[in-house]
Amino acid sequence: MNVLEAVLTVISILTALVLVRVIIGPTIWDRLLGLNMISAKIIMSIIILAVLTERTYLMDVALAYSVLGFIGTILIARFVEKKGEF
């Protein structure tokens, strides 16, 4: 088994553990923190996959995903802070 494949498996298990925090998290901010961590882990997995299979276009997907995850987190945080009004 390749090292990168093993690392990819471990990262998937860690993502599942963060998902547990998102489900049981008592406040909405815990869930947002979990969302942020999950998006960071997905970017890591995409880049590992790109290096493993030597397809460089997957890195563009990671770039776009990092921007979209950032905008989503900021948007939900602002929405909760203003109590639903913009």
Partner 1 sequence: MNIIISNLLIFVSLGFMIFGIIGIFRFKDFYARILISSKVETVGFLTIMVGLMFRTGISYSTMKIMLICLLAIITNPLSTHAIARSAYLSGYKTGKEN
Contact between residue 39 and residue 13 where contact means Cβ atoms under 8 Å apart = no
- Computed on alpha carbons and rounded to an integer, the radius of gyration of the chain in Å comes to 15
Element (H, E) at 41: helix 28-53
Residues making contact with partner 1 (CB under 8 A): 3-4, 7, 10-11, 14, 17-18, 21, 26-27, 29-30, 32-34, 36-37, 40-41, 43-44, 47-48, 50-51, 56, 59-60, 62-63, 66-67, 70, 73-74, 77-78, 80-81, 83
Amino acid at 80: V
| Cβ 15 to partner 1 shortest distance, Å | 10
| Cβ 54 to partner 1 shortest distance, Å | 9
